[in-house]
Structure 1
Amino acid sequence: MIHIRNFIRRLVAPAYVRQIEAGGGGWRFQGVPMLPAPQQSALAARGPAKARAAALSMNNPIAARAVEAWAAALVGKGWQVQSQHPDRQIARVLNDELEALVWPLMPMIARAVVRDGECFVRMLSSPDGFRLSLLPADQIDPAMTRDLGDGARIVAGVEFDGSEQVTAYHVLPDAPGTPFGTYGETLRIPASEILHVFDRQFPGQVRGVTWLAPVLLKLADYDAASDAMLMNLKVQALFAGFITDLEGGTAGFDGTEKAGTVNVSLEPGAMRMLPPGSDVKFSQPSGGLSQQVEFIKSQLHEIAAGLGLMYEQLSGDLSQANYSSARFGLLEFRRRAEMLQRTLIEGQLLRPLWRHWIGWKALAGEISPEDATAPDYRAVRFVPPGWQWVDPLKEVNAEVRAIEAGLKSRAEVVAGRGRDLDEVDQEIAGDTRRPAQEGDA
């Protein structure tokens, strides 16, 4: 009986000790990094990663292309503001005013979000006007962290109350490195005056991390490898060949001697009879270059994946692209870009900005306080920039058939192109009236 029990125990024992591989140990996981406290790790890495991303985006063409590609995807040719006010004349005035206020800053905001990981927009209001000011990320004091008691605290310059709500930002008088900048006590600015735009990767994350973080090390290595290959080819190209003369001469070539080395030149079409024991070997600067280029290209594929971009977007290399692959890649990229457009540009920037701006109009006496809280002034839509088509003929036909089948509305299709349906209808009406007026004339 005891032997049977031992046999059964040995049979089922592996089922009890078997583990999920990702949580197991062993030599294969030696050196693999772990992230037990992602919020704290993000705060610690934010500063060095931001500085490296800024340097690479100014000096490395691939990093610069990545920042510009994402900035263009987020803001493109501009967002359209569509007030839902029933008086269309008032709506157009509101739309034009806010677009004129925010559009000049949107490319800088998008670049800061991608390159630095975050952007701070301060709303400055006075009886004379309403304006926006961009604050460098390091001007929100990253070194200020303290416990305020009763659950309130300051973390990296961001102040929270006991209910985890952001109540204020602690801002330095000038950004670090500002010429003739002053250093002093931080200014406590209420959270209602600052818009903090960043992509949260973890619950409880306080400050943003550069979007280049997953590939910063690989980008630096890629840049160094590319420069090394270029310099290697440049040095090899300086030498046409090497002459060996066992008697210590120049094998019949004439040249200039310097530091024990004779430099000779070859003329096109020349033929030489070399003395016995002499030899000429020509350099091959391109030897093994194709394998190196393929390896570099594979690294660029990994960098593009880490940045969330298509390889063709990052490199500009369209030699391998066709309609199907380009469309599939663009659809995946656009899905992520639209998510970030809605959560970052619309959710964290434009919508709260609209609410504060309408409230300022009431304080400035441009509208009544009752209007400021009425749905007529509060209701607004934001239309992101439209996407260019890969094949206009196919995609227009598909949109037309979707409208005819009742699967899409004209408003949805027009908004997908980054246009306002009312403006499009007005333009079409104008085009229709123009030929009629010309015929009457």
Structure 2
Amino acid sequence: MNLKARISGLFKRQIEAGGGGWRWQGAPMLAAPQASTLAARGPAKARASALSVNNPIAARAVEAWCASLVGRGWQAQSQHPDRSTARDLNAAFEALIGPYLPMIARAVVRDGESFVRLHPRVDGFKITVLPADQIDPSLSRDLGNGARIVAGIEFDAEDTVTAYHVLRDAPGAPFAAYGETLRISASEILHVFDPIFPGQARGISWLSPVLLKLADFDGASDALLMNLRTQSLFSAFITDPEGGNAGFDGETGEGGEVNLALEPGATRILPPGADVKFAQPGSGLSDQVAFLKQQLHEIATGLGLTYAQLSGDLSQTSYSSSRVGILEHRRRAEMLQRQLIEGQLLRPLWRAWINHRALLGEIPSNALSDHHAVRFVRPGWETIDPLKEINAEIAAIDAGLKSRAEVIAARGRDVAEVDEERAAHPAITDEGKPA
């Protein structure tokens, strides 16, 4: 055996993931993730949409992530030196995007992506949330010189998005007209999605890892409920070896069966050989419920949620376990808030909005830098144990590990606004005087 063959055999034996054999038979492989996500995007989106409106667990998952990403809303904090101007900018921008944030977040979770079209007009700046399929997913074409269209998104030779090809009407909309797409510049559309693989052009539903299990869970839950309901229709089964009614009177059906009602407290002496077996609806139910509960744990894990968030079941939740689970979820949620909501939506939207107002003459062109400067405060998290957490924050501030601004921002507030409110409504001391 030559050296190359010996090295090849050595690596195959040591790295099981790259090996073969019967244990790997039937195991899925994803050789081309970009192409696979494009192929799966449509069916996954359609199934996720159906489950999110028919299945309570799927609906809860979408709403739980929407609440984590958006909460009670994002705050814009313009860094304009003039405080009055900053307040006006903040209020106008929040009024522009606020009503659309839940819709955008739901689309990102359910469909895997959301498209926001910007409408800079003479009479004002407006936005529209486009259905994902309105960006023509069937349009893929080589444009030459390295440029191409992939699932309705146009790239140049340097892999920069240059345009989106949008259908005139959303597929399935009433009176929809199907035909040529409109080529809209990338500067007029914001594409919000979380790419899983490098080079991924379109998003895929966040429910994808658990869609099959969700569908099976829904079917199993319904079957268990119908089984229990059917069992509850019967109270007892009476057997008479002579083919009679064992002394009972009732209504005789077409098949010769006798339907009767058993009166409370009644005593009957059955003929020799006759037997009564009482139905036991729900026998073995505890084992079935435990199995379904375990499936919910797996579904919650695949969705990046805690079991309590997904099921609403707090019966076995302690403070410590709840805090550990929530903190893990919040770390991922904060990453997605910064990358998706702030990075892909709010910041580019703010800049386009400010630039449009400058074109209309509402903002002096020499003051653009002051108007572009902005901070966004994500929605704050509710405390699990307010007393413990507030005391911990105070200790961190006193030790110099955190600033007041950092602590206040984590609660979804602006430190300047808090200070203004405190000045307008000072705290009362024990002597009844303002502090």
Q: TM-score, normalised by structure 2?
A: 0.96
Equivalences for 1:143-292 in 2 at 5 Å? 143-259=138-254, 260-292=256-288
Say which SS state the counterpart of residue 148 (structure 1) adopts. strand
> Aligned residues, how many?
427
Mapped partners of 1:12, 1:106: distance in 2: 55
Give the one of 355, 359, 379 matched to 2:355.
Answer: 359
Structure 2 residue 106 is the aligned partner of structure 1 residue 111: yes
Counterpart amino acid of residue 321 in structure 2: S
Counterpart amino acid of residue 21 in structure 1: E
- For structure 2, the residue ranges without an aligned partner over 5 or more in a row are none
Give the one of 390, 398, 406 matched to 2:400.
Answer: 406
Greater CA deviation, 17-26 or 55-64? 17-26
Mapped partners of 1:35, 1:57: distance in 2: 27
Alignment RMSD, CA only? 1.8
Mapped partners of 1:439, 1:17: distance in 2: 79
- Residue in structure 2 matched with residue 368 of structure 1 by the alignment: 364
Structure 2 residue 295 is the aligned partner of structure 1 residue 299: yes
Mapped partners of 1:59, 1:432: distance in 2: 51
Question: Does structure 1 conserve the Cα–Cα contact (< 8 Å) formed by 2:12 and 2:18?
Answer: no
- Residue in structure 2 matched with residue 91 of structure 1 by the alignment: 86
Mapped partners of 2:372, 2:276: distance in 1: 83
Give the one of 312, 318, 338 matched to 2:314.
Answer: 318
- Per-residue CA deviations over 1:60-86 (Å, capped at 9, x if unaligned) read 000000000000000000000000011
Give the one of 47, 57, 60 matched to 1:52.
Answer: 47
- Per-residue CA deviations over 1:27-57 (Å, capped at 9, x if unaligned) read 1110111001100000000000000000000
Deviation of 1:370 (Å): 2.1
Counterpart amino acid of residue 152 in structure 2: G
Say which SS state the counterpart of residue 42 (structure 1) adopts. helix
Structure 2 residue 331 is the aligned partner of structure 1 residue 331: no
Counterpart amino acid of residue 62 in structure 1: I
Mapped partners of 2:195, 2:182: distance in 1: 25
Mapped partners of 2:151, 2:294: distance in 1: 38
Say which SS state the counterpart of residue 387 (structure 1) adopts. coil
Question: Does structure 1 conserve the Cα–Cα contact (< 8 Å) formed by 2:78 and 2:90?
Answer: yes
Deviation of 1:434 (Å): 9.6
Mapped partners of 1:376, 1:408: distance in 2: 28
Mapped partners of 1:439, 1:95: distance in 2: 34
- List structure 1 runs of 4+ shifted beyond 6 angstroms: 11-14
Mapped partners of 2:198, 2:433: distance in 1: 66
State, as a whole percentage, how many aligned pairs show the same letter: 69
Mapped partners of 2:392, 2:13: distance in 1: 53
- Residue in structure 2 matched with residue 396 of structure 1 by the alignment: 390
Give the one of 421, 428, 436 matched to 2:422.
Answer: 428
Give the one of 110, 116, 122 matched to 1:121.
Answer: 116
Counterpart amino acid of residue 330 in structure 1: I
Say which SS state the counterpart of residue 432 (structure 1) adopts. coil
Deviation of 1:16 (Å): 6.4
Mapped partners of 1:19, 1:175: distance in 2: 52
Say which SS state the counterpart of residue 205 (structure 2) adopts. coil
Give the one of 96, 102, 113 matched to 1:101.
Answer: 96
Mapped partners of 1:325, 1:359: distance in 2: 48
- Per-residue CA deviations over 1:248-295 (Å, capped at 9, x if unaligned) read 111111100011110011111111111111110001111111110110
